[in-house]
């Protein structure tokens, strides 16, 4: 990006010129906001939200695998939108006017991404543990009650071990009057807090939007995928390159899942290999912890990054490693 003066060297006014290669992703703005935020888009989002949340809880907490909310581009939401696109294609063949527009699909994507963030790592999953953990695990041995209980906001926490017993040990149901009386006020308080938090974050986005989008012309790489796959006139289901990329990554995942369940099946090793365990002699062992891995989803996300940013990430990582080796070599 290049700042150029519009009134000579003495002027403080400036305009921003942007290289075409990093122009923001074009969106079908002719739909208008009201055409995107429709009643059916909100209803579909409301129906999918509990299913999406259940998916995240089951994979991240019960199975502790996949962890869709640990990356900015949530694969659970992309998968859901892809399924909606498939259904949408069938609807178009029956009656085109019934099909969801790009704006509606993007609204659904946005709402599902937002709810995924709330249900995912470091949000509700951590919150629930925080509001019950101290009171359940407090004991005379650790002295927590005298150590910090006076500083805890009990009015925002569940502090009764009798109420927590069913939650912590299982074999019980939430739908008992004594449990609901204890939990619902706490749930409502935290729901209100997070609603205010989200509104505040939206307000910050409104403040920064003009600067980031219209002046600095940031590209928002992770928005490329939902915008492109929902673009009118572009069907990913007939795109050969899409199926090649999808097929390659799906083959690796399916094959490794078979190897996980059937030890006789060989594994395609794309997991982390620690290079430092093979380099033990000085000064090369100074590179320290150096993991190498091949993750198709990371490669896919990197494809959308500006070239200079991708190059900088790789170059300066290895430059730092070389510095460590040279420092050790020269003492």
User: How far is the C-alpha of 320 from the C-alpha of 108, rounded, in Å?
Assistant: 42
User: How far is the C-alpha of 215 from the C-alpha of 15, rounded, in Å?
Assistant: 8
pLDDT of residue 67: 85
For residue 289, pLDDT beyond 60: yes
Write out the two tokens for 284.
């090369």
43-86: pLDDT as tens digits: 999 999 999 999 999 988 888 877 888 888 898 999 999 999 99
Residues 224 and 304: beta-carbon distance below 8 Å:
yes
pLDDT of residue 126: 86
161-210: pLDDT as tens digits: 999 998 889 888 888 999 999 999 999 999 999 999 989 998 999 999 88
Residue appearing with tokens 């995107």: 36
User: How far is the C-alpha of 122 from the C-alpha of 107, rounded, in Å?
Assistant: 24
pLDDT of residue 11: 36
pLDDT of residue 269: 80
Q: Helix 177-209 vs helix 124-137: angle between axes, to the nearest 10 degrees?
A: 140
The H or E element that residue 103 is part of is helix 102-119
User: How far is the C-alpha of 6 from the C-alpha of 13, rounded, in Å?
Assistant: 6
Residue 13, exposed/middle/buried by CB under 10 A (0-12, 13-18, 19+)? exposed
Peptide bond into 283 cis (omega under 30): yes
User: How far is the C-alpha of 209 from the C-alpha of 218, rounded, in Å?
Assistant: 10
pLDDT of residue 34: 46
The H or E element that residue 17 is part of is strand 14-17
Residue appearing with tokens 């993991």: 291
For residue 246, pLDDT beyond 70: yes
Give the residue from 80, 143, 87 showing the smallest Cα distance to 115.
Answer: 80
The domain segmentation of the chain, as residue ranges, is 25-122+191-238, 269-329
Between CA 42 and CA 54, with CA 48 as vertex, the angle to 5 degrees is: 145
User: How far is the C-alpha of 321 from the C-alpha of 170, rounded, in Å?
Assistant: 49
94-141: pLDDT as tens digits: 988 899 999 999 999 999 999 999 998 888 888 888 899 999 999 999
77-90: pLDDT as tens digits: 999 999 999 999 89
Q: What are phi and psi of 263, to 5 degrees?
A: -55, -20
Between CA 291 and CA 269, with CA 278 as vertex, the angle to 5 degrees is: 55
Write out the two tokens for 43.
């209803």
């Amino acid at each position: 990006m290049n700042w150029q003066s519009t009134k000579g060297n003495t002027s403080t006014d400036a305009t921003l010129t942007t290289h075409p290669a990093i122009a923001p992703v074009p969106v079908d703005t002719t739909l208008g906001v009201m055409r995107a935020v429709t009643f059916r888009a909100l209803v579909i989002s409301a129906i999918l939200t509990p299913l999406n949340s259940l998916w995240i809880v089951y994979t991240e907490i019960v199975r502790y695998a996949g962890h869709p909310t640990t990356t900015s581009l949530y694969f659970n939401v992309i998968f859901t939108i892809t399924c909606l696109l498939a259904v949408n294609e069938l609807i178009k063949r029956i009656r085109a006017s019934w099909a969801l527009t790009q704006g509606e699909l993007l609204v659904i994507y946005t709402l599902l991404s937002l709810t995924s963030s709330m249900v995912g790592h470091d949000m509700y999953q951590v919150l629930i543990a925080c509001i019950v953990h101290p009171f359940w695990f407090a004991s005379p041995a650790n002295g927590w009650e005298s150590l910090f209980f006076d500083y805890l906001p009990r009015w925002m926490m569940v502090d009764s071990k009798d109420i927590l017993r069913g939650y912590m040990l299982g074999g019980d149901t939430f739908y008992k009057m004594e449990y609901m009386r204890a939990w619902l006020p706490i749930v409502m308080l935290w729901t209100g807090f997070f609603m205010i938090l989200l509104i505040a974050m939206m307000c910050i986005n409104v403040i920064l939007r003009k600067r980031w989008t219209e002046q600095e012309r940031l590209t928002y790489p992770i928005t490329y995928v939902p915008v492109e796959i929902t673009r009118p006139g572009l069907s990913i289901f007939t795109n050969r390159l899409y199926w090649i990329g999808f097929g390659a990554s799906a083959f690796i995942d399916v094959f490794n899942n078979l190897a996980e369940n059937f030890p006789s099946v060989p594994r395609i090793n794309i997991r982390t290999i620690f290079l430092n365990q093979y380099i033990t002699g000085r000064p090369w062992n100074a590179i320290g912890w150096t993991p190498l891995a091949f993750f198709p989803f990371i490669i896919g996300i990197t494809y959308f990054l500006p070239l200079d940013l991708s190059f900088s990430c790789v170059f300066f990582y290895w430059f730092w490693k070389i510095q460590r080796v040279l420092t050790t070599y020269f003492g």
